[in-house]
Amino acid sequence: MVELQINTTQNVNINFIAASVGERILAFIIDLIIKVAYAVVTYQIMFKLFQIDEMVMEMDQWSQMAVYGIFFLPIVFYSLVFETWLDGQTPGKRIMKIKVVKIDGYQASLADYMIRWFFRIIDLNMFSGVVALIAIVTSKKSQRLGDMTAGTSVITLKNKININHTILEELDDDYVPTYPNVIKLSDNDARIIKETFIKAKASRDYETLVKLRKKVVEVVGIKDYNDHDIKFIDVILKDYNYYTQSM
């Protein structure tokens, strides 16, 4: 079991457990089964049922390659599409409860997933995955070459701590902050606010949410606000992340 300590730009240490080699292999096998199933079904329906294969056989070699390439393109981009769509998970990873994350504590971006996907050529397709296996086993952070290049790793979500328990918030590129006074808060303040906020919201403890909002207003020194308690606290957390990330 490899423990990963992610040190964020806000000097917050987050401990994760890296996904084991076995978990990653099983996730890969599940994804492989899904891709094979897609290929078989697509071939039977499109090429056999609609007799497209007879049309293809009459084409030249390059045209045949183009037709087959179009139909089986989803297999090629399978991991890239799903990891981008499911925030670092493919169906196999989701079943195995593992996920791709940045080792700086932030959610991986499309560019990171593209790098990981591109390096699959070396990691997984060359020498039947031996390169990836050796890299993961010998790496201190259980990273294959694609992970090392993208600055990512694969963690298990089976442990109780995950990225949602930190003060980090995902912000849009065009996010506009509302309360500049949030810089009066410390990282510890923001962490306590978020933990209390998540628990109170999940249990619908509106009394605690009201108390939390009043305390935040008092500490930060906010005079005017129109949002209800949940939206207000959510904006406070996002604003804090916006300003601290810009420092």
Quote the pLDDT of residue 161. 47
Per-residue confidence band for 126, with pLDDT thresholds at 50, 70 and 90: low
What sections of the chain are H helices per DSSP?
21-42, 52-57, 61-71, 73-76, 78-85, 91-96, 110-118, 120-123, 130-138, 145-150, 187-203, 206-220, 229-245
Q: How confident is the model at residue 175 (pLDDT cuts 50, 70, 90)?
A: confident
pLDDT at 50: 59
Go through the chain and tell me how many residues it has: 247
DSSP character for 221?
Answer: T
Per-residue confidence at 22, pLDDT binned at 50, 70, 90? very high
Sorted by where each begins, the domain ranges of the chain are 3-156, 180-245
Report the C-alpha gap between 167 and 169 in whole angstroms: 7
Facing residues of 156 across strands? 98
Structure tokens at 56: 């293809």
47 burial type by CB count under 10 A (0-12 exposed, 13-18 middle, 19+ buried)? middle
pLDDT exceeds cutoff 70 at 130: yes
Between the CA atoms of 10, 20, 34 and 59, what dihedral angle is there, to the nearest 10 degrees?
Answer: 80
Of 12, 15, 16, the C-alpha closest to 167 is 12
* Amino acid at the residue 173: D
Model pTM score? 0.61
112 has a pLDDT exceeding 90 = yes
- What does the angle CA 143 – CA 148 – CA 152 come to, to the nearest 5 degrees? 75
Looking at the chain, the whole-number percentage of residues with pLDDT higher than 90 is 26
Q: How far is CA 51 from the centre of its chain?
A: 40
pLDDT band at 113 (very low <50, low <70, confident <90, very high): very high
Q: Which 8-state DSSP code applies to residue 185? A: S
Residues 90-110 have pLDDT tens digits of 999 999 999 998 887 667 889
Give the pLDDT confidence score for residue 226 in this predicted structure: 72
Q: Mean pLDDT over all residues of the chain?
A: 82
Look at 2-16, 20-34, 69-83, 152-166 and tell me which has the smallest mean pLDDT. Answer: 2-16
